[in-house]
Structure 1
Amino acid sequence: MAGVITASEPSWITPFTGLSPRCFGKLVTVVWREIANETRRGRLWGLPLEDRVLLVAAYWRTNLTMRQLAPLFGISKSAADRIINHLGPALALRPRRRFSKDTVLIVDGTLVPTRDHNIAEQSKNYRYSTNHQVVIDAETRLVVVVGRPLPGNRNDCKAWEESGAKAAVGTTMTIADGGYPGTGRVMPHRRRKGEELSDWKQAHNKAHKQVRARVEHVFARMKTWKILRDCRLKGDGVHHAMLGIARLHNLPLAG
């Protein structure tokens, strides 16, 4: 159909995915391998795989409704919904299983406003949100683990364990902010009442803050995907979107 968005036109790829056409082609190949053995049921897809991957990325990037998004790809609203539900999990980031001894990780929690109140609670941003624990490699800035979403009123030290992020990183050295007391993470030194921090502790806190800022930079890039500002997806949809966006964030960094 003329006048629709398609991956066969390379100019559409980068604005919606943040990937070069070459990198996008590699992603499509990986996704094809992951779904190749699936049992096909129901009607055939109306779009080739590369267009379906682009549609999911466009949905995450723009947060358009199905009624708005579907005509842009020349398909029906129900077909667009089926594509997103099918390919969202296939695009999800696979957590890193092993870490070298000298690896340093950074963890922080971010809130994603979510309309599914079955998994969300009102949080400090006064909206129904989910708490996502995100772990990155301090050196490469690659996202290595994203914990399962928890209600937004859950504090980070509890979410760290309950989301599965703690189990995923094991004993690997992990830097965190002051919201993770009692977790064994490397946190900044706290000043006790009536006392001043020594020079070496102040220097340590400064270095700690500079390194930990890297995860904030990752959040800033991920939040350019509008689905993470107001997610309408139900059930595991917000989790799949977070994992998929993390994967798309990693691809250009990994080369």
Structure 2
Amino acid sequence: MPTPLHRPDVEDGGPRWGVVRGARLTVRGVVRRYGGIEAVGGVDLVAPGGRITALIGPNGAGKSTLFDCLAGTVRPDAGRVLLGGRDVTALAAHRRVRLGLARTFQQIAVFPTLSVADNVRVGAEQRRGRVAARTVLERTERALGLFGLSGLADEPAGVQPTGVLRLVELARALAGGPRVLLLDEPAAGLDAAQTGRLVAVLRGLAERGMALLLVEHDAELVAELADSVYAMAQGRVVAAGPTAAVLADARVAEAWGGRP
């Protein structure tokens, strides 16, 4: 089971991760259509370094499609995506990873026949062309420790419960040393202790300058964690700003199933 909660940026008296520089994700007028349906309709969004930005909205609002456009698995029909000031709109997903963009998925995506450690190592190796093999190992071990997975390192991923697999996926994304981290419902399937660890880890990463953008349906978690919020409905942003103000917006409550 995961180890007790600890500060993510300090272990054994030393720093865990260096300061992240040049972290910023900018979205300008992104449009994505499927046939005659506009799934994303001209979205503008900024996820700055050192902040946690949340993307909320009902099912079908266009959040996952927007994430696919940001990650590079889907090409937008219009608009631009900038990573740290560099236009990456035309770049494939693997090239964005090498530039420091990582993501997790709403549906857990792990390699069930690999060990927990090997799943995490895959994330570290995605940027191997820029780091030494020793660094890959160090990042893997650090990411395992960060999420309390060291004791499960040699266990097959396929036999782990949902909450552990969610942490494995998060550790894999972090092991690559991203500047921008896209998180699609990262708390889904986590118990209270695991959610507490997640909150501490994400706050610690933001404190070191990383830009974090997460899709989340839990209003209480959004209120606790996010510095700012973008609310989507029918493919468009209907409200954006500081978390408390957006969650109190009547348009958001109406679109988000009446939740504050």
Q: How does the TM-score come out when normalised to structure 1? A: 0.27
Q: Which has the higher contact order (CA 8 A, sep 6+)?
A: 2
Higher normalized helix content (fraction of residues): 1
Higher normalized strand content (fraction of residues): 2
